[in-house]
Amino acid sequence: MDKNFALIGASGYIAPRHLQAIKKTNNNLVAALDRFDSVGIMDSYFPDADFFVETERFDRHIEKLKYDKGINLDYVSICTPNYLHDAHIRMALRRGADAICEKPLVINPWNLDALQKMEKESGQRVWSILQLRLHKSIIDLKKEVDAAPKNKIFDIDLTYLTSRGNWYYTSWKGDDSKSGGIATNIGVHFYDMLSWIFGDVKENIVHVQTHDRASGYLEFERARVRWFLSINYELLPQEIKAKGQRTYRSITIEGEELEFSGGFTDLHTRVYEGILDGNGYGLEDTRQAIEIVHEIRHSMPIGAKGDYHPFAKKSLAKHPFEKEIL
């Protein structure tokens, strides 16, 4: 039987992947919510879905569907800013629906504990989008690691540069209290992938943490990872700039590059398929990555000391909104 979905955050960058996943899994979107009304993309998927810009009217509509038309909500997909995830998940559970939420699921580890209590009380589930676990290259890597001698520790360099313009610092993404900072906002999916493959964290050191970059060292049960994340265009390799590209992603394992530049298009749909089959990624699956980014956010950077990523020594940049002192 088709399931009934609602979508919160319909104007967001990632919302089309959720709309596509709902459509491709042959389900129905009954309502969507966003404070911004630039949601014409909905016409390509669910033109008949009701749309609201006020939370109160959206909430009333969901209730009226239930009591006036006998339409029950099965799932609420959440694509809102990071700091609103917790509240919107709670809204879904109170409405008797499972929540499917983008990452990071929550900003703080203790939010997971509270949501687990709500799951138990409501009988509903909270699901996360951990799509890298379904990427073929990542699955193959996990198989390789699992087959290696148990005492083998892998040396890894992770570099992710995804340049952003000045708009970033005006938006919620540039507010660490709302986004969680660089490591949370653009790195949490990598930390989940590393946790899934290499086990529990043993050490978490931060070397650099500013408005446009973060870098550090993570030691897992089976890996030593030097990582560097940035949104600064100037840090991109020249060959990437020459191609007109604004993103650079590299993971080297024992000196060999892991190829996973493509293969992302249908991963959200596959995550949805797993959830609908009862095999999705729940609250506990997200815990270690949430704990990692929380610790990074509250750590004092030590500078380029010890085992650090080569990019950690690159010159720091001024905040684009910093005024010159004359």
Give the residue carrying structure tokens 């087959």.
147
- Identify the CA nearest to 125 among candidates 326, 281, 252, 262: 281
Q: Write out the chain's pLDDT in tens, 326 residues.
A: 799 999 999 999 999 999 999 999 999 999 999 999 999 999 999 999 999 999 999 999 999 999 999 999 999 999 999 999 999 999 999 999 999 999 999 999 999 999 999 999 999 999 999 999 999 999 999 999 999 999 999 999 999 999 999 999 999 999 999 999 999 999 999 999 999 999 999 999 999 999 999 999 999 999 999 999 999 999 999 999 999 999 999 999 999 999 877 778 899 999 999 999 999 999 999 999 999 999 999 999 999 999 999 999 999 999 988 875 54
Q: How far apart are CA 252 and CA 257, in angstroms?
A: 4
- Both tokens of 258, joined, read 């892991």
What pLDDT is stored for residue 324 in this prediction?
55
What pLDDT is stored for residue 191 in this prediction?
98
Displacement of CA 167 from its chain's centroid (Å): 20
Q: How far apart are CA 79 and CA 89, in angstroms?
A: 11
What pLDDT is stored for residue 34 in this prediction?
97
What single-letter amino acid sits at 23? Answer: K
What pLDDT is stored for residue 43 in this prediction?
95
Displacement of CA 247 from its chain's centroid (Å): 17
Q: Is residue 208 within 8 Å of 303, Cβ to Cβ?
A: yes
Q: Which domains does the chain have, with CATH numbers?
A: 4-128 (3.40.50.720), 132-264+275-313 (3.30.360.10)
Q: How far apart are CA 20 and CA 29, in angstroms?
A: 11
Helix axes 109-122, 283-297, angle to 10 degrees: 160
Q: Is residue 184 within 8 Å of 299, Cβ to Cβ?
A: no
What pLDDT is stored for residue 255 in this prediction?
94
- Both tokens of 232, joined, read 């600064």
